[in-house]
Amino acid sequence: MEALKEILAVNIPASVAVIGLVLYFFGMAIVFITSPIKNAESFSVKPVDNAGKTEIRVYYGGISFALGAFLLYLTIALKTPVYSLVGGLFFSTTVLVTRTVFLFVDKGWKCPYTKLAIPAESLFVVALWVCFILSKTMY
């Protein structure tokens, strides 16, 4: 635990961002593994059978857990949170850009989930970019 504290002290803005990313991904994993149908429906996703329920657990839950664990591993292995932050930026920015583009292609801008996802993801991505810029200018 002490070693992790030392690693996180190397670059505070990057550490804050990585902690946020790891908590986000682990939280998503728990939510989708424990209650896949309820949570997927709030994302406008509905399985057609039990295999679909499993896919929600696997792709929304399992992959979220894997991403969080990988970012944590990368931080510990490289003894800096900066590379994990960059990975999180690639992921989050790509999701936001893809969602925004296909929001217009699929005409999904009136959907309740979209009205929540776009502002929330935008704020999250902006916060990550601010942490990245601070991590480069302060350290």
**Host domain of residue 58:** 2-138
Tally of domains within the chain: 1
* pTM for this predicted structure: 0.89
pLDDT value of position 62: 97
CB atoms within 10 A of CB 23: 11
**What's the pLDDT tens digit per position in 67-97?**
999 999 999 999 999 999 999 999 999 999 9
pLDDT digits over 103-126, tens only? Answer: 999 998 888 888 889 999 999 999
Query: What are all long-range contacts of 84-87, with beta carbons under 8 Å and residues at least 24 apart?
Result: 84/14, 84/18, 84/21, 85/14, 85/17, 85/18, 85/21, 85/128, 85/131, 85/132, 85/135, 86/132
DSSP string for 14-49: HHHHHHHHHHHHHHHHHHHHHSHHHHHHHTT---SS
